[in-house]
């Protein structure tokens, strides 16, 4: 299994943001995640087509958000780069 790690600084944006009229914030977050992932994805790495494990570590010191809602935007951001849908 190929291991691929990258860090995105900043507070994650929930998938629920688009339902609250904050779609631009959600799209900006996905773009930020994608840009950071692309910095660490080497051109020799192949996009995964089989099983994929995604591990997200979320550090916070004041505001905790529902972790279930931050996974989807991250998955969407790296789809096509790290794995196929």
pLDDT in tens, 11-33: 888 888 766 666 688 999 999 99
Query: Tell me, what DSSP letter sits at residue 20?
Result: G
Report residue 35: phi and psi, to 5°: -60, -40
**pLDDT tops 90 at residue 75:** yes
Answer with the residue of higher pLDDT: 12 or 43: 12
Residue 83: which of 74, 32, 13 has the closest Cα? 74
Choose among 51, 81, 54: nearest CA to 70.
54
- Span 57-84, average pLDDT: 85
Segment holding 78, helix H or strand E = helix 68-78
């Amino acid at each position: 299994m190929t291991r691929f790690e990258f860090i995105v600084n900043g507070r994650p944006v929930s998938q629920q943001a688009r339902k609250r009229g904050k779609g631009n914030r959600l799209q900006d977050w996905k773009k930020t995640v994608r840009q950071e992932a692309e910095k660490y994805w080497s051109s020799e790495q192949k996009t995964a087509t089989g099983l994929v494990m995604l591990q997200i570590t979320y550090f916070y010191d004041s505001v905790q958000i529902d972790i279930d809602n931050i996974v989807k935007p991250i998955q969407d951001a790296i789809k096509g780069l790290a794995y196929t849908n």
